[in-house]
């Protein structure tokens, strides 16, 4: 199964590439260094070279040659982020009657064995950052798929550690332009895993996160 990469992850990868390119330029091309170079490497070569160098450096040196060269981007919302925030606000402003109709629609969409292309299973492990999206009649086994993967890679993994993995179903409905993730029934997480899951969902902004009762999943109140 191919790894699911969200649009936000792609943007983060692009941003890191630009930061590596800028770090290489400042340390090896800008100023007097350019005079002793036989030629200027391509952008791709600069990114790869700087990445390899950083892997061999101590934390203190990395801070000097990379962290201090990072240009902080201007804070603005992309069209995708604006759309997500608008749809999130629309969901929060729904009346109880409208929310009940939507939950009934979810039940209708999942009454048959094959849920169809508008329903996907989702599972996320906050301890490793691993996530799984399933479909094609395997919507309800995303948790098992991820558990099997973790069991194969972690010596001390306990598949019966129920309060670790966030899982549920993702619904695509015409009422919203952003998919909706509904947490599975009785999927209770411990406080630490809950907090990390909330951070992941709010950062990804791929779907509106709600619990089984239809409430927006939010940080635990202290």
Contact indicator for 217, 183 with CB cutoff of 8 Å: yes
- Same domain, yes or no, for 88 and 63? no
pLDDT in tens, the chain (222 residues): 444 445 555 455 565 566 665 655 556 555 444 444 445 556 566 555 555 665 655 555 555 555 555 555 544 557 888 889 999 999 999 999 999 999 999 999 988 767 778 899 999 988 888 888 887 656 668 888 888 888 888 877 776 666 888 999 999 999 999 999 999 888 888 888 888 888 888 888 889 999 999 999 887 655
- State the residue range of the domain holding 54: 12-69
How many structural domains comprise the chain? 2
3-state helix, strand, coil in the chain (%, to 5): 50, 10, 40
221 within domain boundaries = no
5 within domain boundaries = no
How many other CB atoms sit within 10 Å of the CB of residue 93? 8
- Same domain, yes or no, for 197 and 127? yes
Contact indicator for 143, 122 with CB cutoff of 8 Å: no
Q: Please spell the DSSP secondary structure of 114-131, one letter per residue.
A: S--TTEEEEEEETTTTEE
197 within domain boundaries = yes
Dihedrals phi, psi of 121, to nearest 5 degrees: -85, 150
Cβ partners under 8 Å of residue 188, min gap 6: 162, 163
């Amino acid at each position: 199964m191919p790894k699911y990469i969200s649009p936000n992850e792609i943007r983060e990868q692009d941003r890191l590439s630009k930061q590596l390119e800028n770090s290489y330029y400042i340390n090896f091309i800008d100023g007097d260094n350019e005079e002793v170079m036989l030629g200027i490497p391509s952008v791709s070569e600069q990114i790869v070279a700087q990445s390899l160098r950083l892997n061999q450096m101590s934390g203190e040196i990395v801070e000097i040659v990379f962290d201090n060269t990072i240009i902080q981007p201007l804070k603005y919302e992309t069209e995708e982020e604006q759309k997500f925030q608008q749809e999130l606000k629309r969901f929060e402003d729904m009346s109880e009657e409208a929310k009940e109709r939507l939950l009934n629609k979810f039940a209708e969409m999942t009454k048959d064995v094959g849920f169809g292309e508008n329903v996907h299973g989702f599972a996320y492990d906050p301890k490793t950052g691993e996530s799984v999206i399933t479909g094609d009649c395997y919507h309800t086994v995303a948790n098992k798929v991820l558990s099997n993967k973790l069991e194969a890679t972690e010596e001390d993994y306990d598949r019966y550690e129920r309060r670790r993995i966030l899982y549920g179903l993702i619904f695509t409905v015409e009422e919203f332009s952003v998919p909706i993730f509904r947490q599975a029934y009785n999927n209770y997480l411990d406080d630490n895993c809950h907090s990390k899951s909330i951070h992941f969902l709010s950062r990804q902004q791929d779907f509106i996160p709600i619990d089984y009762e239809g409430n927006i999943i939010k940080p635990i109140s202290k």
